[in-house]
Amino acid sequence: MSRPGFQKHIEKRIASLPEGSAFITSDFLDIADTQVVNKALSRIAEAGSIRRILRGGYDRSRYSELLQEWAAPKMEEVAKAIARNFGWTIRSLRRHGTESAGAVHPGPSGVVLHQ
């Protein structure tokens, strides 16, 4: 598959994601190698279809009608993307009720990463 073929394939996959989704380079390594994926994501970001939120991390931006501007990336989505890269499991303490038991204070997002 040629470079434009790889990029089109990556663009299709990104378009299939819901707005606000975060993803990283390793999410596309089944399409091409790291260098090709990085370059393709960089080009797509330059075109404005996605936003670079950290090194190797991007999001499919969502527009906030309330704020009348592009919304900040959802931190839980960013955490999920990073966790996929490292093989981590994410558990939301707010959902499991352990925060009220005083076991761990998760911080403002309510998300704790576990290896």
Tokens matching residue 32 = 């091409």
Give the per-residue pLDDT at 74.
86
The answer on 56 and 6 residing in a single domain is yes
Q: Which domain holds residue 101?
A: 74-115
Q: Is 38 exposed, middle or buried (0-12, 13-18, 19+ CB in 10 A)?
A: middle
Q: Which CATH number belongs to the domain containing residue 12 in this structure? A: 1.10.10.10
Question: Do both 17 and 63 map to the same domain?
Answer: yes
**What local confidence, expressed as pLDDT, does residue 93 receive?**
61
Q: What is the pLDDT of residue 112?
A: 56
Q: How far is CA 4 from the centre of its chain?
A: 23
b/e sequence 97-115, b meaning 16+ C-beta within 10 Å: eebeeeeeebeeeebbeee
Per-residue pLDDT for the chain (115 aa), expressed as one digit of tens each?
556 689 999 999 999 999 999 999 999 999 999 999 999 999 999 999 999 999 999 999 888 899 899 898 888 899 999 999 888 988 766 655 544 444 555 555 555 555 5
Domain match, 63 and 82 both = no
